[in-house]
Chains A and B, each alone.
Chain A
Amino acid sequence: MLASAGVKSRSRFAIALTLAVGLGAWLIWTSIGGSLETYTNPSGLVKTTDATTYRLNGTVAPGSPADAAERAQTAEGLRFTVRDKDRPSVTVPVAYRGSVPDAFKDGREIVVTGHMENGVFQAERGTLITLCPSKFMEEQAAKGKTMPDGMPKEPAGT
């Protein structure tokens, strides 16, 4: 593209281009500063004491409420536990309000943004994301579940 630069002086074109690229870089730099969030997992959170904002990644520990979506809309909010993917013994309690993705259930991998406060991960509103495998096989195989022959029980609240 530089080969096409023949406006009065080549250096002027170079200056214009440098300015444009500089402006772009500045835009990217200033924008990125405000939106950085460190990825972490329950093991990483255990050590923190400050109120830094993190994106917490892990799986939903067994025992999450079946009516999770509704609880997340109440004043008390939804309480559930996130388990470390690699070290299942490490868990963190999470308090969350806002919309809950359909795929949310025990064992599902999630990401949620928030900070630690008195040992509870206070999630920001509406930041809960489920990582949704389009494949069901691994997760079912992992649980050692066979295909349900009869009708499963209707989950409470739906």
Chain B
Amino acid sequence: MTLVGRAALLLAFASALYAVGAALWSRRKGRRELLVSAERGVWAVFATTTTAVVVMWILLLSNRFDVADVAGYSNRTLGWRYKITALWGSQAGSLLLWMWFLSIAAVLVVITNRTRNRALMPVVVAVLMGIAVFFTSVLSFFTSPFETVSPVPADGRGLNPLLQNVYMESHPPLLYVGYVGLSIPFAFAIAALVTRRLDSTWITSIRRWTTLSWMFLTVGIILGSRWAYEELGWGGYWAWDPVENAALMPWLMATAFLHSVMVQERRGMLRIWNMVLVILTFTLALFGTFLTRSGILSSVHAFGESTLGPYFLALIIVVLAGSFALLISRLSLLRSENSLESYVSREAIFLYNNLLLVGLAFAVFWGTMFPVLSEAVQGQKITVGQGFFNQVAAPIGLALLFFTGVGPLIPWRKASPRELRRRFLWPLVVAVIAVIPAVYFAQDGAHWWAALAIVLAAFTVACIVGEYWRGATVRHQLGGVSWPGAVGQLFTRNRRRFGGYIVHLGVVSIIVAIACQGAFSSQGDLALRTGQTGEVAGYQFTNEGGTRTRDDHKMSVGVALGVSEGGNRFATLNPGVDVFTAQMQRSSEVAVDTSPFRDVYVVLVGLTPDGLARISVFINPMMMWIWVGGLVMVLGLIVAVWPSRRPREAAARAALGADGRVRE
């Protein structure tokens, strides 16, 4: 069985190598037909990688403990679902998963471009398969998921209990889909540079890929924070850990790219800048993998030091040097078609938004890499505390929030002062009204920035609602469409724009939640015997008795806590601690009572045999709106990428005066 897996990976390596060669050769005169052969090579890579993944799953499910990664990350008592997810518990397995996603993405690119972009495809295939060559060679020659051990252990070590939950089942694959997806804009960018076809075609062909990858990255990051919040039991969700930063940096770059692309499509500007963003986004995605796999930085979840660091570093250097050399050689072809006419125009706002996002990514990079840099320069490893990241991210985040509101209301090219006054009147009124509750919340003045976030959020929401209002009014009055029909038309006729605004609403929700949690959360520890009551931040907690259970998998203790506020009992929380017997590993089971305005978050620290429960309580205001905001963002993205009706059909419907309701 392991032989089948190894053979499949070797074949994948060979096929990828062949596809690179055939694709590049097909660019020679009279060798066109080789491209089809190269594309068959892509299918072969997909088929062989899939075989390897299936083999790995069979090994995991059939408890083949002679395989190192099965023995290391699974055991007999592990449920079948976690046996499936144990695939990406190991280093080799997670690289295999990445490679599998890459092969799927490459096949999708081949399928969707059978008749389009034929001139770009040879280079696109070569780049994607070049990345595949790297991953399959690492998987074949340096860290094989099919390594065997002897003597064969009687049982496996089991999967880290921290990873045994739904968030860890979904978070790594989602992030990987996002990372892999970002390699496709990169491949198209390189193809456009190589073939000198630098018009906007390559950008429109990958628009949906970029948006979807960005969506997966977003969901991956949010589920990761949700995991940290529910599993790690420290009451927070984000700690600027190197691994978190590794996922955030490509996300920030991709966000900048998603916005600046519109400037290129509309005005033919920022063409070099977009190339730089695509290249840096992909490099940062690789860099993220390098950070987590190299052990260069200590992290809460440094995945065990490995020897893969140098290989990834080499790949990153090759990608960076190659791409930028290519870019420089094509600079003369990337002249801007237009120039910036005013500092108050849509394109200018996009430019500010880009500078802020890239600036933040740079600051995060700087802060993350500071220990490595200081050690190289001074010989002393100096780390940067969370305070640095918060201090930099807060003002940049607020400025971004401001531009989120302002941007869509400012016309392209140049804005007339009269038009601006008309459009911003109501949002400004709303913002001024919002100052009152904001000042009330920030009584002591120390939380002025949280108050500012609330005011800016109100302003931004008003701007977005105004956009819908204006759009719908025009359609209602000029098109004679009913009100609901007019709003529906906004989504069907201009999906990207109005879907994008929904994404913005999600972002506003998340920023407000982050600001409120950061400013107004409170924490307290209690030691309660059975029947005793203690208080934290106005909430009373009563110990109503502990429980102890054990099965062949784990030992558990728990405590029932009655929670009340001002004599009104509103919840019973049951925090607990599991100790997994296979590894003698503790795992806290936090209990959370969620309401729109706050989370009551309780961790059981310990329970003595005589019934003394020690608990940690966190009151986190507005926490729910981080997750709600994430959901809203996904919704908006689905609206934005949903395929539009075919132009002909849409035109026919418009001619018939159809009602324009959303039918999908």
Contacts and interface: CB of A to CB of B under 8 A. Distances in A.
B304 A133 contact: yes
Given A27-B392, A70-B614, A3 B72 contact: no
A39 B383 contact: yes
Contacts of A138: 304
B579 A3 contact: no
A73 B614 contact: yes
A69 B382 contact: no
Nearest to B618: A99
A158 B606 contact: yes
A157 B340 CA distance: 68
Interface stretch (B154-162, B318-326, B530-538): B154-162
B565 interface: no
Contacts of A36: 382-385
- For chain B, give the interface size range: 35 or more
B607 A158 contact: yes
Contacts of B525: 73
B341 interface: yes
A134 B383 contact: no
B588 interface: yes
Contacts of B334: 3
A131 B302 contact: yes
Given A31-B388, A157-B606, A140 B342 contact: no
A99 B603 contact: yes
B303 A136 contact: no
B616 interface: yes
A102 B72 contact: no
Contacts of A99: 233-235, 603, 605, 616
Contact of B300 (A20, A57, A129): A129
B272 interface: yes
Interface string B338-359: 1111110000000100010001
B631 interface: no
A151 B582 CA distance: 9
A1 B527 CA distance: 60
Interface string A123-158: 000100111111111101000000110011011011
Which secondary structure dominates where chain A touches chain B? loop
Contact of B392 (A31, A73, A158): A31
Interface string A14-33: 00100010001001101110
Contacts of B579: 154-155, 158
B115 interface: no
Nearest to B355: A20
Contacts of B139: none
Contact of B387 (A27, A31, A134): A31
Contacts of B607: 157-158
Interface residues of A, number: 59
Nearest to B163: A134
B336 A4 contact: yes
Given A3-B272, A135-B72, A147-B154, A103 B586 contact: yes
Given A5-B340, A20-B355, A24-B359, A101 B555 contact: no
B608 interface: yes
Contact of A27 (B155, B302, B385, B395): B395
A63 interface: no
Given A5-B340, A102-B587, A157-B608, A31 B581 contact: no
A29 B525 CA distance: 36
B385 A133 contact: no
A155 B301 CA distance: 25
Contact of B606 (A16, A39, A67): A67
Interface stretch (B117-125, B197-205, B364-372, B453-461): B364-372
B380 A38 contact: yes
A27 B342 CA distance: 27
Contacts of B298: 57, 109, 111, 131
B62 interface: no
A30 B304 CA distance: 34
Contacts of B158: 136
* A-B pairs, 8 with minimum CB distance: A6-B339, A70-B606, A39-B381, A35-B385, A31-B391, A35-B387, A1-B273, A35-B388
Given A1-B351, A32-B384, 14 more contacts: A5-B340, A24-B362, A34-B391, A35-B387, A35-B391, A55-B383, A69-B586, A99-B235, A99-B605, A101-B234, A102-B587, A126-B234, A151-B581, A158-B579
Interface of B: 72, 89-90, 153-155, 157-158, 160, 162-163, 232-235, 269-273, 298-304, 334-336, 338-343, 351, 355, 359, 362-363, 366-367, 370-371, 380-388, 391-392, 395-396, 525, 527, 550, 555, 557, 577, 579, 581-588, 603, 605-608, 614, 616
Interface of A: 1, 3-7, 13, 16, 20, 24, 27-28, 30-32, 34-39, 55, 57, 67, 69-70, 72-74, 99-105, 109, 111, 113, 126, 129-138, 140, 147-148, 151-152, 154-155, 157-158
14 contacts: A1-B351, A7-B341, A16-B343, A24-B359, A35-B385, A69-B606, A99-B234, A102-B162, A102-B587, A103-B585, A111-B298, A113-B385, A140-B157, A151-B550
